[in-house]
Structure 1
Amino acid sequence: MSRPAFEEDASPFAATLARTGRIVGLNPCWEDVLHLATRRDFEKDAVIPHTRWRGMYYLSRGSVAIAYVAACGRERLTLRVGPGCLFNEARTVSSYEPGVVFQCLEPSVIWRFPEGLLQDEAFLSAHPKQVASLLHSMGIKILIHYTFLADMGTGSRESHVCRFILNLSRQNGNALRFSCPMRQQDVAALLGIHRATLARILRRLRDKGIIGAFSCKEVVIHDLRRLEELALND
């Protein structure tokens, strides 16, 4: 099976995504078996009722935020899923029920595959391409979460923000000017900090001449070397 065009090596790819919080186009071959799934359209901000609408999902249009709920009740954003990706497959395979919220960030089209599909030997043997795609994307997600946990355990909040910006740059071909796929409040949620804390860090980085603008429309890096130094600061 051919890999996604943007992926050259799963490990650095996953490490980058761990700090940019978005995956897209990992499972396009599942479009070929959508006749086995049920389509449902969701409005922006809608929460997918996964405890009632059970099964594995495929996103063909839109964007979905995945947040896990801590014991204290606080939601922690972990990943944003873009078109061409499966999600909720781990829960479907394991039957484990963690506290999780799937929220549509924009109008989205989602297809639900039956809960028992991945235990159906006839399906598995007849669709090796889809099975390989599923295993490949699950491996990437595991690396994303492992890298994210390791990354959040080292460095200051400022270094976490710098790593996020630096990896956005790498994801955009080492560009010094690019757009951010997330709002500031979503970036703060991904990094586990308050929005006001993020705003203060961005202001310090601007005052030091390291970055310029930081918004959904445009992120500008003025001093890449200094940004890299702060990103590596333990």
Structure 2
Amino acid sequence: MNHPDIDTYKQDLAVFRIRDLNAPWREILDRGERKILPRHHELSNADESTFFFLNRGTLHLSCIAEDGQERVVMIMEEGVLFGEITFMHKSSVHFHSLRTLTECEIIVFPNTLLDDLAFCREYPHLVLNLVKSLGVKGGAFFSQIYDSNLLDARGQICRMLSHIWREQGEKETVNPDLSQVDMANILGIHRSSVCRVIHELRDEGVIGRFSKTRLEVLAPIKLMEHGKILCLLAPE
């Protein structure tokens, strides 16, 4: 089985980051309209007649609950299509936000391309790339559902700390560049719940000091067990 290049998508803490997932679409940039969006620009999801290619820059996708709480679920970098799911998935409106983190150059394509048999015959490799990228995004959203709904606060926090520990070389002391407040905002968990779980993990000897610049992992296997990712550990 062929897998996309692992560098095109990764889980960064509780957020998926994708890049160059749809790079082959650069072949037809001349068939779309080029636009420059400033930093902190929010894209409207009201128009279903177009989809987009992010040619340069970074933006994030957030889900917005009825109470206004926002959670970032995906960060998109250059070489990625977005807005195509809205056209393909016809259901009740799900509130979300697409906001640029840097100045972005996007290419606006008409949705008619996705219904055009002549286009599909001329560019079958682009259609295949689109199908594969939808699979990657679907897997990312499934992981978000698992983390949010099937793991309690303790499990989500331990999973995040485990990701930080593994990303930084599995050393006893790492720099998380993440505060407890940041963690609460990313996970959508109340700050008091984060504080309580961190205290419990310290009392149990799973972690030591935890600040924005220092995380001490004293019992990594227990940390990963609590995060339900023991399967990622190599056998002894």
For 2:87, the aligned partner's letter is T
Whose RCO is larger (CA < 8 A, sep 6+)?
Answer: 1
The answer to whether the 8 Å contact 1:57/1:89 transfers is yes
Task: Give the equivalent residue in structure 1 for 2:41.
Answer: 46
Q: Say what the alpha-carbon RMSD is for the aligned residues.
A: 3.6
**Which moved further from structure 2: 113-122 or 222-231?**
222-231
> Taking structure 1 as reference, are residues 31 and 218 closer, same or farther at Cα in structure 2, changes over 3 Å only?
farther
Whichever structure has more strand as a proportion of its residues is 2
Secondary structure in 2 aligned to 1:158?
A: helix
> Taking structure 1 as reference, are residues 86 and 211 closer, same or farther at Cα in structure 2, changes over 3 Å only?
farther
Task: Give the equivalent residue in structure 2 for 1:127.
Answer: 123
What is the correspondence of 1:37-186 to structure 2 with a 5 Å cutoff?
37-52=32-47, 54-96=49-91, 97-170=93-166, 172=167, 175-176=170-171
The whole-number CA distance in structure 2 between the counterparts of 1:150 and 1:214 is 27
Secondary structure in 2 aligned to 1:45?
A: coil
For 2:66, the aligned partner's letter is A
> Taking structure 1 as reference, are residues 112 and 203 closer, same or farther at Cα in structure 2, changes over 3 Å only?
farther
> Taking structure 1 as reference, are residues 189 and 126 closer, same or farther at Cα in structure 2, changes over 3 Å only?
farther
Q: Which of 174, 189, 195 is equivalent to 1:193?
A: 189
The structure with the largest alpha-carbon Rg is 2
Shift of 1:184: 6.8
Q: Which of 221, 225, 233 is equivalent to 2:221?
A: 225
> Taking structure 1 as reference, are residues 196 and 129 closer, same or farther at Cα in structure 2, changes over 3 Å only?
farther
Sequence identity percentage: 24
Secondary structure in 1 aligned to 2:5?
A: coil
Secondary structure in 2 aligned to 1:21?
A: strand
The whole-number CA distance in structure 2 between the counterparts of 1:183 and 1:112 is 37
* Residues 1:210 and 2:202 are matched in the alignment: no
Task: Give the equivalent residue in structure 1 for 2:5.
Answer: 5
Q: Which of 3, 19, 28 is equivalent to 2:23?
A: 28
The answer to whether the 8 Å contact 1:46/1:104 transfers is yes
For 2:102, the aligned partner's letter is E
The answer to whether the 8 Å contact 2:62/2:71 transfers is yes
The whole-number CA distance in structure 1 between the counterparts of 2:179 and 2:31 is 35
The whole-number CA distance in structure 2 between the counterparts of 1:188 and 1:51 is 30
Secondary structure in 2 aligned to 1:86?
A: strand
Shift of 1:191: 1.7
**Which moved further from structure 2: 217-226 or 54-63?**
217-226
The answer to whether the 8 Å contact 1:214/1:220 transfers is no
> Taking structure 1 as reference, are residues 3 and 30 closer, same or farther at Cα in structure 2, changes over 3 Å only?
farther
Shift of 1:103: 0.9
How many residue pairs get aligned? The number is 226
Query: Scaled by the length of structure 2, what TM-score is found?
Result: 0.75
For 1:103, the aligned partner's letter is R
Secondary structure in 2 aligned to 1:50?
A: coil
